[in-house]
Amino acid sequence: MGAGKRSLTTAAVALVCAVTVLGAPGMAHASQAAPDPTASPS
């Protein structure tokens, strides 16, 4: 049971890391793209 819980936790951490790494560039582009159109009309 302990080993299963540990591997489950490891898988969860790996998944979070993967989502963070893959999602970070998209979020960065979205953050940069959002202010630009808003700043231009202003």
Q: What is the pLDDT of residue 13?
A: 93
Measure the CA–CA gap between 23 and 30, rounded to whole angstroms: 10
Measure the CA–CA gap between 17 and 33, rounded to whole angstroms: 24
> What does the pLDDT look like over 1-42, one tens digit per residue?
577 899 999 999 999 888 888 776 666 555 555 555 554 444
Q: What are phi and psi of 10, to 5 degrees?
A: -60, -45
pTM over 0.85: no
Q: What is the pLDDT of residue 29?
A: 59
Q: What is the pLDDT of residue 8?
A: 93
Q: What is the pLDDT of residue 17?
A: 82
Q: What is the pLDDT of residue 27?
A: 61
Measure the CA–CA gap between 37 and 35, rounded to whole angstroms: 6
- Chain-centroid distance of CA 36 in Å reads 22
